Amino acid sequence: MDKNNLEEIIFGGGCFWCVESCFNILKGVESAISGYSGGHQSNPTYQEVCTGETGHAEVVKITYDPSIISYEQLMDVFFFLHDPTQLNRQGNDIGTQYRSIIFYKDAIEKQKAEQAIKRSEASGKWNGIYVTELAPFEKFWPAEQYHQGYYNANPTQPYCSSVVGPKIQKFKIHFGELEMLETSL
């Protein structure tokens, strides 16, 4: 991986535990960090974000090497991992903090995100109208340390074993067949 050529993308697709876990095992991803973005409160805590009053979404900041994995491939993974037709929720996780959102840094990224949404809509994977929000990136607040790698540290926790684990297994099968996973898995 070329450390001098790394780029970042930040988006939210529901609970960050499963999104982070999946992106961290993709070839070309240096890191996926759980955090908060899109709100009005500085230094938010998990408890504050869970109230829905901070305006923040649970997000993941992905640092990647575009010579190994493209922005478009990352978007394909993003739309695989969550249902972009559910407004302010993913499954039983309900609230604006679970909204589908892509943050862009400039007009080129905004255009790429718009194209990714159209491509995903045209695929027919999800029925319904996409509600994925596009927003200019302002600030990323890393989540508390215990959220980083949460699934790997807590696979038997009830939410992890019933929701996150099955999603990760489905992800591993699909993207493993596409040879997009780290070979050490």
pTM above 0.85, yes or no: yes
34: confidence class by pLDDT, cuts 50, 70, 90: very high
State the CATH architecture for 7-178.
2-Layer Sandwich (3.30)
For the annotated catalytic residues, the residue numbers are 15
Kindly report, residue by residue over 116-139, the tens digit of the pLDDT.
Answer: 999 999 999 999 999 999 999 999
In percent, how much of the chain has pLDDT > 90? 95
Q: In the prediction, which pLDDT does 185 show?
A: 54
1: confidence class by pLDDT, cuts 50, 70, 90: confident
Kindly report, residue by residue over 56-81, the tens digit of the pLDDT.
Answer: 999 999 999 999 999 999 999 999 99
Q: In the prediction, which pLDDT does 184 show?
A: 65
Are the C-beta atoms of residues 76 and 32 closer than 8 Å to each other? Answer: no
Euclidean distance between the first and the last CA atom of the chain, given in angstroms as a whole number: 18
* Residue type at position 48: E
Are the C-beta atoms of residues 164 and 17 closer than 8 Å to each other? Answer: yes
Question: Cα(71)–Cα(106) distance, rounded to whole angstroms?
Answer: 14
Count of beta carbons in the 10 Å neighbourhood of residue 127: 7
Question: Cα(10)–Cα(28) distance, rounded to whole angstroms?
Answer: 16
Q: In the prediction, which pLDDT does 4 show?
A: 87
